[in-house]
């Protein structure tokens, strides 16, 4: 996270340990996550397709940046899309992300089940495409107010 520098990827200015806690200093994204916004205001989903398209486009820009830098997020979902009061969208929560070398694939089971691509669930080897699948599920989540299945 500290190596990333893109407007749609949350910044980490610094980090420090106090006792057994790791603290990350990040920008204030005071509108909360898209999941928070859905649950508080749009529990049946966002009906304006332009709003959904705008959020997905911003997340996609962040994913393109990550993928160009060989990083796979592996937990793409509305709960990890943070917004500020101006409507800017950033991807957050890199707890299960990884970096892949060219041609390399992941074979482990990481992420949130409702958003996982089939190859992640089956553990047959996944790469950046797993984030794309999860982004599609997130679009459905935005439209319906919850993830399918």
Among the listed residues 21, 48, 75, 93, the single catalytic one is 75
- Concerning whether 75 is annotated as a catalytic residue, the answer is yes
Map tokens 């749609």 to a residue.
Answer: 8
Q: How far apart are the first and last CA of the chain?
A: 30
Token pair of 105 as six digits:
């694939």
Strand partners, 21: 18
Cα 99 to chain centroid distance, Å, stands at: 15
- CA dihedral for 53, 51, 126, 10, sign (positive or negative): positive
Q: Which residues are catalytic?
A: 75
């Amino acid at each position: 996270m500290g190596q990333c520098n893109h407007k749609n990827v949350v910044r980490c200015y610094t980090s420090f340990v106090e006792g057994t806690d790791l603290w990350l200093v990040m920008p204030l994204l005071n509108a909360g996550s898209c999941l928070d916004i859905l649950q508080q205001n749009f529990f049946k989903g966002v009906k304006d397709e332009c709003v959904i398209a705008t959020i997905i486009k911003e997340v996609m820009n962040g994913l393109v940046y990550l993928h160009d830098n060989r990083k796979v997020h592996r937990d793409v979902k509305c709960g990890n899309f943070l917004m500020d009061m101006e409507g800017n969208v950033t991807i957050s929560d890199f707890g299960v992300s990884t970096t892949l070398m060219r041609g390399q694939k992941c074979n482990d089971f990481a992420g949130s089940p409702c958003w996982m691509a089939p190859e992640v669930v089956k553990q047959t080897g996944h790469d950046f495409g797993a984030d794309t699948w999860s982004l599609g599920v997130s679009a459905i989540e935005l439209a319906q107010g919850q993830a399918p299945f």
